Amino acid sequence: MRAAVLGMLVGLGVLVALTFGFPEASAQRAAPDRAAPSSDLMALSFDAGDGRQQLTVIDPRSRVMAVYHVDRATGALTLKSVRNVYWDLQIEDFNSANPTPREIRALTDPRTEPR
């Protein structure tokens, strides 16, 4: 369960990074287990333990990600989850401790009131 959550967070982080863009040089230095950022599908691989590999596939154009588990012994591929993250990326803060980003902004900008 922790590995799946971690994989989704990593995938979401990559998707956010793609949304804001990468310099050309960083695409050339991508880690070997990751696809270089592009407008095509991206795949991230993660050792989930227990003889499983987790594969996260991201479509940056449609902002959809899918998580698969691959059983190393049999090669069986299991789809674990698919999610369109467009609306997730519209949330200003979620599941964050106090002070929230909105509260910090209110402290630095007197025109902003915390909600």
CA dist 85 and 12 (Å) reads 8
In-domain check, residue 99: no
Amino acid identity, residue 101? Answer: P
Task: Say if residue 69's pLDDT is above 60.
Answer: yes
Is residue 9 a part of any domain in this protein?
Answer: yes
Q: Kindly state whether residue 52 falls inside one of the protein's structural domains.
A: yes
Asked if residue 65 belongs to a domain, the reply is: yes
Average pLDDT, the chain: 76
When divided into structural domains, the chain yields a total of: 1
pLDDT at 54: 97
Judge whether 98 lies within some domain. no
- Provide the pLDDT confidence category of residue 46 given band limits of 50, 70 and 90: very high
- Between 38 and 24, whose confidence is greater? 38
Residue 77 lies in a domain: yes
pLDDT tens digits, 77-115 = 999 999 999 999 999 888 888 888 888 888 887 676 655
Q: Which residue has the higher pLDDT, 40 or 111?
A: 40
Total-model pTM: 0.55
